[in-house]
């Protein structure tokens, strides 16, 4: 056998062994989870409404909160808590939560 007759056979065998993976298989774990959720009838749209602003009051003036309401000043939040200035504490940030000691 000569090299000329064996070379096309080798090239054909190497080209036949390769190839693209099946396109129906998921390529990532996230894609697999999405397909399984869709098969189970779950919502896979990805756009969920988180309910908007979660406090009552002006978003630009919400520095302190008490019982879901926003206040511009700590004094205003303490007055809503009705525990007096000396017993009022605030902790955290964005907005700070006001509570009575």
Is residue 71 within 8 Å of residue 63, measured between CB atoms?
yes
Q: What is the pLDDT of residue 50?
A: 64
Mean residue pLDDT of the chain comes to: 78
SS3 content of the chain, % helix, strand, coil (to 5): 35, 15, 50
List, for residues 12-47, the tens digit of each pLDDT value.
Answer: 766 666 655 567 888 898 888 888 888 888 766 665
In whole angstroms, give the CA distance from residue 17 to residue 23: 17
Residue range 64-89: average pLDDT?
86
């Amino acid at each position: 056998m000569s090299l000329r007759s064996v070379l096309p056979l080798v090239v054909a065998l190497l080209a036949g062994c390769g190839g693209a993976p099946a396109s129906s298989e998921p390529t990532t774990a996230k894609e697999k989870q999405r397909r399984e959720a869709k098969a189970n009838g779950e919502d896979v749209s990805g756009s969920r409404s988180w309910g908007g602003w979660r406090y009552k009051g002006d978003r630009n003036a919400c520095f302190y909160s008490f019982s879901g309401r926003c206040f511009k000043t700590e004094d205003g939040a303490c007055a809503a808590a009705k525990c007096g200035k000396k017993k009022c504490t605030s902790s955290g940030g964005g907005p700070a939560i006001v509570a009575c000691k």
